[in-house]
């Protein structure tokens, strides 16, 4: 199997409402990623990009509209779209381009501008529900998170305080991220006292709506070695989509993530992920999700995650740092770009370039994961140096 | 040399202007069942990965990829959606097999355009919201602009574009899957109700509902699964700029087709497409597109497509039969499934399963799909029944 | 701060920037309508709902009784043609108490929160749930595992929609 490495990465700031158009946001991230490894657009063979619902921008075939901002001009350009998992999946998609042998240098770009959608991006999530059997109930994006969080908490006897710890952890980490939308730490009390949106979800359990873009450059081995002395290898990729009949699954465990993670670990030759993985970037649009996903990623035994969290196991200087970037809760959540931001984080962390966020102890293997759709899909990428 | 990949199964459902009796799930289930049976009766749980091609606004569902797995038998399998034409979906499936992680991958797409109250409104939403949409023009104006400029630059004529319509609709009469086949004259086309000058009603392919599923496999698996694998010798795709006013070679050109074709030919080792491609299924969403694409794909010289068409070169009995299936003008336009439809017709020809439309002695065919207005994106695939 | 990490772009705007006209904004509203074909299975589901009944399909191979009904079993990948009526009672698998409308606006003073839930329907296979809403129950009384019963609209008001069931209430 052809080896592929990440050789460059770039991000915009994540903000609630950006001045830049979607194309401009894509351009900023793309340009930064190219500059970071000394490449120009002419060097790039192809573009793999991702962006979540077209409805946010009110632009049909949004991928075409974004193409030039992503560097996809007179080049093979292809958009992948798996809801919230798009951010990590675009890297899998980019990996296909290079690992197949068809291309040597692939630019992976993910962008989201949620502020365009009026009055609020959340409204468009109405249209993710089944048009005939669900939409008439006027469901709400928050419903599915709340339903899942409630089931998860009830299954293990977790409390809202337990879940809030993940929000506190991630937001604290995120303050050190230069892209972060946030300036202040929060406490468990802040989370518990915040407005109840849809029990058990409170306002501070949720990551914000954001605008932003992120990009990475993928290179085939010989090219990677020429471009940098610290290529970050894509060791494993996995992805899985569960049934659309989401109400027929028990929501307490993300079995689709279990499969995706095992697929990635198998490719990477990892047998004991909880011992071998040094950094975890699980997808955390809500605090409970980070924990839910740590279990699905086989990084924490089911029902024991809160205990480990309280013990400091997942702190930056713990055994298995979780979301040293700050995650979506700590940096921001421009949907597709957020997943790619996690990949960028692994890139910098494994190279020892994460500055104040640096995980100590010379980490060698990291895993990034994103999730989406009707709680059905996950993409997993294992990186190593 | 990259791993060789073949088409081992083909299935389709529908192809009618409305399909009120079946939901999209039921249509895809039918197409998938036929495809898997065609591939030797494989159970979908033995398929490694699935790629669907779709666009939210065409379905009226955000994050349409959520609804993909069940009807393909892909629950808890690797499934991804490409927001693009289904030929790009084929490219993704092919690349997955070439990585070595997957051996058997299904590509699917469908059209339920009949469920849209106003397709043209959705098409208008693909135009730039700041620069183009405020003009509030029917989106086909873009095709009108392109056609006018193409005719001006290439010296192809309006009548030659009409000839494309006549040829393809007549060819469609022999294709049981075609819905818009008919026997018409030049006057029918040139005197038809004008839409966006110089486009008239007949220059535009009609809408169609349908679902297609195609199964790809690595060489090793393909040899086990079927005795008529159709090899994907080359594939290429490209996007020119989305901005209507900054296309490198102007609105009359199809640079995306040229680039896509070049990549596909290079991968297939084709040096002289005109001599090495035996027949082609080339995007004819609008009449002028067939001529424009043939030139861009280097299947004839610039400005020659119209003349060669008049000389009968692209007829079923000619030197390079084009759209023997009837193309989109004769079969109908399947929107996101357009690319898979081109591949399907090409593959069936190469298998000797094209019925009344069968050409004799063909070995290598080209399928080319364009994403439709307002895009400048296309994908070319070279297929062969020889390894 | 990492010397290698560079972040560029993402200039923050405030609501005031937009309201005061400092920023040029172009607006458009989408106007699309869709008429989705229900197909055979969902058509039957809806017409049975209109008659005050919930119908499912059974897979002859794995014997799952599936809701909403489908013409094929997605796991065995074979057609299903055996229709089974199931009860209109069930068990709450999970629920929420929602103070926010679908468009992110908050519920008003005096307005009751919405009570979405996943309800495992009796008679269908274990775990076979549908999403619906709860009613005639105080939010703090709801528990996972509670037994509930559908409350139907009067026959004359039913249209063949999931909302022909107004809500589920505790048994």
Please judge whether B23 and C34 are an interchain contact, meaning their C-beta atoms are less than 8 angstroms apart. Answer: no
Question: Which of B25, B52, B53, B65 is most worth mutating to test chain A (most A CB atoms within 10 A of its CB)?
Answer: B65
Question: Which of C20, C100, C105, C142 is most worth mutating to test chain A (most A CB atoms within 10 A of its CB)?
Answer: C100
Domain count of the fold of chain B: 1
C124-161, pLDDT tens digit by residue?
Answer: 999 999 999 999 999 999 999 999 999 999 999 999 99
pLDDT of residue C5: 61
A183-238, pLDDT tens digit by residue?
Answer: 889 999 999 999 999 999 999 999 988 999 999 999 999 999 999 999 999 999 99
Asked if residue B23 has pLDDT above 80, the reply is yes
pLDDT of residue C144: 95
Could you tell me which residue, A124 or C142, shows the higher pLDDT?
Answer: C142
Torsion of CA C90, C92, C93, C99, to 10 degrees: 140
d(Cα B245, Cα B169) in Å, to the nearest integer?
33
Helix-helix angle B141-154:B287-296, to 10 degrees? 50
pLDDT of residue A118: 84
- Residues of C near B (Cβ–Cβ under 8 Å) read 26, 28, 30-42, 70-72, 74-75, 77, 79
Element (H, E) at B370: strand B364-370
- Do the Cβ atoms of A288 and A207 come closer than 8 Å? no
Complete domains list, chain A, with CATH:
4-118+208-384 (3.40.47.10)
Residue A352 touches chain C, beta carbons under 8 Å:
no
Element (H, E) at B230: strand B230-239
Question: Which of C3, C4, C10 is most worth mutating to test chain A (most A CB atoms within 10 A of its CB)?
Answer: C10
C74-108, pLDDT tens digit by residue?
Answer: 999 999 989 999 999 999 999 999 999 988 889 99
A55-111, pLDDT tens digit by residue?
Answer: 888 999 999 999 999 999 999 999 999 999 999 999 999 999 999 999 999 999 999
Average pLDDT over residues A117-123: 85
A232-256, pLDDT tens digit by residue?
Answer: 999 999 999 999 999 999 999 999 9
Q: Which of A2, A72, A242 lies closest to B76 in CB terms?
A: A242
Q: What is the pTM of this model?
A: 0.96
**Between the CA of residue B387 and those of A80, B4, B78, B262, B368, what are the distances in Å?**
30, 9, 28, 20, 21
Name the B residues in 267-286 with CB < 8 Å from any A CB: 267
Asked if residue C2 has pLDDT above 80, the reply is no
- Report the number of secondary-structure helices (H) and strands (E) in chain A: 14, 11
What ipTM score was computed for the predicted complex, to two decimals? 0.96
Residue A37 touches chain C, beta carbons under 8 Å:
no
Residue B206 touches chain A, beta carbons under 8 Å:
no
Average pLDDT over residues B282-286: 98
Please judge whether C102 and A245 are an interchain contact, meaning their C-beta atoms are less than 8 angstroms apart. Answer: no
pLDDT of residue A148: 96
User: Given the DSSP bridges, would you call strands A279-281 and A365-372 parallel, antiparallel or unpaired?
Assistant: parallel
A288-336, pLDDT tens digit by residue?
Answer: 999 999 999 999 999 999 999 999 999 999 999 999 999 999 999 999 9
Residue B194 touches chain A, beta carbons under 8 Å:
no
Q: Which residues pair with A196 in a beta bridge?
A: A202
Question: Which of B44, B58, B72, B80 is most worth mutating to test chain A (most A CB atoms within 10 A of its CB)?
Answer: B80
Domain of B84, CATH number, reads: 3.40.47.10
- Do the Cβ atoms of B237 and B91 come closer than 8 Å? yes
pLDDT of residue A123: 86
Name the A residues in 46-85 with CB < 8 Å from any C CB: 55, 58
Q: Give the pLDDT band of residue B1 (cuts 50, 70, 90).
A: low
A21-58, pLDDT tens digit by residue?
Answer: 999 999 999 999 999 999 999 999 999 999 989 988 89
Asked if residue A175 has pLDDT above 50, the reply is yes
Q: Which of B25, B75, B130 lies closest to C26 in CB terms?
A: B130
Average pLDDT over residues A121-140: 90
- Average pLDDT across chain A, whole number: 95
pLDDT of residue C112: 93
Q: How far is A196 from chain C (nearest CA, A)?
A: 7
Q: How far is C10 from chain B (nearest CA, A)?
A: 20
Could you tell me which residue, C81 or A360, shows the higher pLDDT?
Answer: A360
Residue B71 touches chain C, beta carbons under 8 Å:
yes
Asked if residue C1 has pLDDT above 80, the reply is no
Note down the domain range covering B14.
Answer: 5-117+208-225
């Amino acid at each position: 199997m052809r080896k592929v490495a990440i050789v460059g990465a770039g991000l915009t700031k994540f903000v609630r409402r950006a001045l830049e158009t979607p194309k401009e946001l894509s351009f900023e991230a793309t340009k930064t990623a190219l500059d970071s490894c000394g490449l120009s657009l002419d060097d790039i063979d192809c573009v793999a990009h991702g962006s979540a619902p077209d409805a946010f921008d009110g632009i049909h075939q949004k991928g075409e509209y974004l193409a030039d901002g992503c560097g996809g001009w007179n080049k093979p350009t292809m958009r992948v779209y798996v809801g919230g998992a798009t951010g990590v999946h675009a890297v899998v998609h980019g990996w296909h381009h290079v690992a197949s042998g068809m291309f040597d240098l692939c630019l992976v770009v993910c962008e989201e501008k949620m502020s365009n959608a009026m009055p609020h991006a959340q409204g468009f999530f109405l249209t993710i529900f089944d048009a005939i059997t669900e939409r008439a109930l006027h469901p709400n994006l928050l419903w599915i998170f709340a339903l899942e969080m409630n089931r998860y908490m009830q299954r293990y006897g977790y409390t809202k305080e337990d879940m809030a710890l993940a929000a506190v952890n991630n937001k604290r980490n995120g303050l050190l991220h230069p892209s972060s939308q946030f300036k202040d730490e929060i406490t468990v009390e802040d989370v518990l006292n915040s407005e109840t949106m849809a029990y058990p979800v409170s306002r501070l359990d949720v990551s914000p709506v954001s605008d932003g873009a992120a990009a990475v450059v993928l290179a085939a081995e010989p090219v990677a070695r020429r471009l940098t002395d610290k290529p970050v290898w894509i060791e494993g990729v996995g992805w899985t989509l569960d049934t659309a009949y989401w109400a027929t699954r028990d929501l307490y465990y993300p079995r689709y993530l279990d499969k995706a993670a095992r697929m990635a670990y198998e490719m990477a030759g990892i047998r004991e992920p909880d011992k071998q993985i040094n950094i975890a970037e699980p997808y955390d649009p809500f605090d409970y999700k980070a924990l839910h996903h740590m279990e699905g990623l086989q990084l924490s035994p089911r029902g024991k995650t809160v205990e480990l969290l309280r013990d400091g196991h997942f702190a930056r200087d713990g055994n298995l740092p979780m979301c040293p970037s700050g995650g979506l809760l700590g940096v921001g959540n421009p949907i597709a770009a957020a997943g790619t931001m996690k990949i960028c984080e692994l890139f910098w962390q494994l190279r020892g370039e994460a500055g104040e966020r640096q995980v100590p102890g010379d980490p060698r293997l990291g895993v990034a994961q994103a999730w989406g759709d009707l709680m059905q899909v996950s993409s997993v990428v294992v990186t190593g140096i | 040399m990259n791993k060789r990949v073949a088409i081992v199964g083909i299935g389709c459902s529908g192809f009618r202007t409305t399909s009120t009796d079946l939901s999209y799930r039921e249509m895809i289930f039918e197409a998938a069942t036929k495809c898997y049976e065609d591939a030797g009766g494989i159970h979908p749980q033995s398929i490694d990965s699935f790629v669907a091609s779709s666009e939210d606004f065409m379905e009226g569902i955000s994050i349409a990829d959520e609804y993909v797995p069940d009807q393909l038998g892909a629950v808890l399998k690797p499934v991804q959606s490409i927001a693009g034409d289904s030929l790009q979906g084929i490219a993704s499936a092919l690349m997955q097999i070439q990585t070595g992680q997957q051996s058997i991958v299904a590509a699917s797409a469908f059209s339920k355009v009949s469920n849209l109250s106003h397709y043209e409104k959705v098409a208008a939403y693909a135009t730039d919201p700041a620069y183009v949409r405020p003009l509030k023009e029917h989106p086909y104006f873009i095709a009108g602009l392109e056609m006018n400029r193409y005719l001006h630059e290439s010296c192809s004529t309006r009548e030659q574009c009409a000839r494309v319509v006549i040829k393809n609709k007549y060819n469609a009469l022999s294709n049981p899957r075609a819905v818009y086949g008919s026997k018409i004259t030049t006057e029918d086309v040139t005197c038809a109700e004008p839409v966006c000058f110089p486009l008239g009603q007949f220059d535009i392919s009609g809408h169609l509902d349908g679902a297609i599923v195609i199964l790809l496999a690595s060489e090793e698996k393909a040899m086990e699964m079927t005795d008529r694998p159709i090899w994907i010798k080359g594939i290429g795709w490209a996007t020119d700029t989305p901005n209507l006013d900054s296309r490198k070679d102007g609105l009359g050109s199809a640079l995306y087709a040229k680039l896509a074709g070049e990549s596909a030919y290079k991968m297939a080792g084709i040096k002289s497409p005109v001599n090495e491609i035996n027949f082609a299924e080339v995007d004819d969403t609008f009449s002028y597109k067939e001529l424009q694409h043939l030139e861009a794909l280097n299947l004839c010289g610039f400005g020659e497509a119209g003349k060669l068409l008049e000389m009968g070169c692209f007829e079923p009995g000619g030197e390079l039969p084009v759209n023997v299936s009837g193309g989109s003008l004769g079969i109908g336009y399947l929107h996101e499934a357009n690319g898979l439809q081109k591949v399907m017709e090409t593959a069936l020809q190469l298998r000797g399963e094209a019925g009344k439309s069968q050409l004799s002695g063909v070995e290598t065919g080209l399928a080319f799909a364009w994403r439709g207005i307002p895009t400048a994106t296309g994908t070319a695939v070279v297929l062969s029944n020889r390894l | 701060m990492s010397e290698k990490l560079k972040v560029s772009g993402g200039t923050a705007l405030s609501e005031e920037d937009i309201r005061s006209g400092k920023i040029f904004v172009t607006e458009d509203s989408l106007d699309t309508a869709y008429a989705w074909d229900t197909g055979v299975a969902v058509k039957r589901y809806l017409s049975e709902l209109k008659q005050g009944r919930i119908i499912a399909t059974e897979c002859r191979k794995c014997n799952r009784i599936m809701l909403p009904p489908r013409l094929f079993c997605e796991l065995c990948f074979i057609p299903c043609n055996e229709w089974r009526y199931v009860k209109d009672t069930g068990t709450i698998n999970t629920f929420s108490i929602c103070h926010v409308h679908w468009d992110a606006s908050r519920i008003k003073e005096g307005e009751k929160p919405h009570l979405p839930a996943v309800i495992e329907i009796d008679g269908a296979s274990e775990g076979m749930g549908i999403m619906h809403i709860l009613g005639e129950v105080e939010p703090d009384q709801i528990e996972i595992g509670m037994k509930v019963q559908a409350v139907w609209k009067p026959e004359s008001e039913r249209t063949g929609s999931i909302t022909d069931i107004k809500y589920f209430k505790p048994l």
